[in-house]
Structure 1
Amino acid sequence: MTRKLIPGILAMAAIVVASNILVQFLFGQWLTWGAFTYPFAFLVTDLMNRIHGPGPARKVVAAGFVVGVICSLIGTQIVGEFGPLVTLRIAMGSGLAFLVAQLVDVQVFDRLRVGSWWRAPLVSTLVGSSLDTAIFFTIAFSAALMFLEPANDVSWAGEALPLLGLGPIVPLWVSLAVADWLVKLSLAIVALAPFRVIVTRLTAKVA
């Protein structure tokens, strides 16, 4: 591990740990506090990609994945009111969603790195965030994947309700996914500001 990766690894680890803790606390009806911290993992990945390239960025993603697995293992040992804080389906969904979404983010960013400064981080984050949300919520809560963990009752997630309380009737988990996705999209735009500032400052130091 080279010294240049340490800031990225520490930042990614902090985000993953914080998100795993904050996901236990609700924010309104459709979200948890973790929804507001996790999207910044894409910012870390994109910064590493822009500054050091796709190879180092993938190493930071791998480190974040390992930290996430450790958090999930710890969560399976903590029993809350309704059972373990982390079930097998949540652990599988979380790990797979993180790994696929972040690696796709790296690939898309690298393809778009030449051109307007904002295009690569924005497009890669939008694509990665969409994959992350779709993979996690489908694996964790879709009734079609009950066979992954038959003993885990997620029937509550299938309750038919208006989308975000206003739209067509859909399973509850779809509303949770859409709310999470909208936060990710919003923060993808917000994150462009720190991305620009950090890259400009670090590039100036190198120059």
Structure 2
Amino acid sequence: MTARPAPLFAPLRHRDLLLAVLAMGVVVLGSNILVMYPINDWLTWGAFSYPVAFLVSNLVNRRFGPQAARKVAWVGFALAVLMSVWLASPRIAAGSCSAFIAAQLLDIGVFDRLRHGHWWRAPLVASACSATLDTAIFWSVSFAGEPLPWVSWALGDLAVKLGIAVCLLAPFRALLWKMAPLPGAR
């Protein structure tokens, strides 16, 4: 059995890091605010925005590698949590803090492991696994001890997150085409 060659990654420039961190921070902060607004008995507005965090992570991972994606996750995490305590609520921030970093690190690991397969497999599987973990942690931490409607919100949000993960494959692929390929990269 032959080993696969190590993938080549573009160097992560300060501008790229700043853009990725800002995108991650805006998505997480926005989602933390939107999750406080239910649409109905089984869904909140946050379910529609949060999957974009996985898109950001997956694009950074694909182009710059898992180490760069982890850097973006940690810095974006710190920014979003600080802002969430102030603009959302401490309880939402605590749930988001726990869920976000666990889900992002899982996403990065799963994506990196599957990066050599079909272009759609790594982002889809990584996002599905991470959305499930994120949902379980976020809702159980943020709403523990609250009346049970949060369980239906969690299930509704997860269903929407998984659906959006599928829909985000098109922007993922389109953005990959816009990224200049590296010489010898697979």
TM-score per shorter chain, which class?
0.7 to 0.9
> Which runs of 4 or more aligned residues in structure 1 lie more than 4 Å from their structure 2 counterparts after TM superposition?
none
Following superposition, the deviation at residue 199 of structure 1 comes to 0.7
Q: Which residue of 2 aligns with 1:150?
A: none
Residue 193, structure 1, aligned to residue 170, structure 2: yes
Choose 31-40 or 98-107, whichever is displaced more.
31-40
8 A Cα contact 2:70 2:105, kept in partner: yes
Whether the 8 Å CA contact 2:107–2:126 is kept in 1: the answer is yes
1:42 aligns with 2:54: yes
Task: Provide the alpha-carbon RMSD of the alignment.
Answer: 1.7
Task: Give % identity.
Answer: 48
1:150-173 Cα distance to aligned partner (Å, 9 max, x none): xxxx2xx23xxxxxxxxxxxxx22
1:63 and 2:65 matched: no
For 1:164-184, what per-residue CA distance to the aligned partner results, in whole angstroms no more than 9, with x for missing partners?
xxxxxxxx2221110010011
Q: Deviations over 1:66-94 (max 9, x none)?
A: 1222123204xxxxxxxxx5143x33221
Offset at residue 186 of structure 1 (A): 0.2
Cα distance in 2, alignment partners of residues 188 and 181 from structure 1 = 10
Give the drift of 1:18: 1.9
- When normalised by structure 1's length, the TM-score is 0.76
Structure with larger Rg: 1
Greater strand fraction, Structure 1 or Structure 2: 1
Aligned to 1:168: none
Is the alpha carbon distance of 1:63 and 1:40 closer, same or farther for their aligned partners in structure 2, counting shifts above 3 Å? same
Q: Which runs of no fewer than 5 residues in structure 2 stay unpaired? A: 1-12
Q: Alignment partner of 1:71: what SS?
A: helix
Q: Does residue 141 in structure 1 map to residue 118 in structure 2?
A: no
Structure 1 gap segments, 5+ residues each? 76-84, 144-153, 159-171
Q: Secondary structure at the match of 2:180?
A: helix
Q: How many Å separate the matches in 2 of 1:113 and 1:58?
A: 16
User: 1:87 & 1:70 partners in 2: Cα distance?
Assistant: 10
Deviation at 1:195, TM superposition (A): 0.2
**1:26 counterpart SS class:** coil
Which of 92, 105, 120 is the aligned partner of 1:103?
105
d(CA) in 2 for partners of 1:97 and 1:203? 33
- Between the aligned partners of 1:140 and 1:71, the Cα distance in structure 2 is 16
Preserved contact between residue 28 and residue 50 of structure 2 (Cα < 8 Å): yes
- 8 A contact 1:16–1:67 mirrored in 2: no
Deviation at 1:16, TM superposition (A): 1.8
Which residue of the other structure, out of 151, 158, 162, is the alignment partner of 1:181? 158
- Say if 1:118 and 1:34 are closer, same or farther in 2 by CA, change over 3 A: same
What is the count of residue pairs matched by the alignment? Answer: 171
With normalisation by structure 2, the TM-score equals: 0.84
AA aligned to 1:47 is L
**What does residue 65 of structure 2 align with?**
53
Q: Could you tell which deviates more after superposition, 129-138 or 26-35?
A: 26-35
Q: How does 1:15-26 map to 2 (within 5 A)?
A: 15-26=27-38
Q: What CA deviation, in whole Å up to 9, does each residue of 1:106-138 have, x standing for no partner?
A: 000000000100000000000000000001111
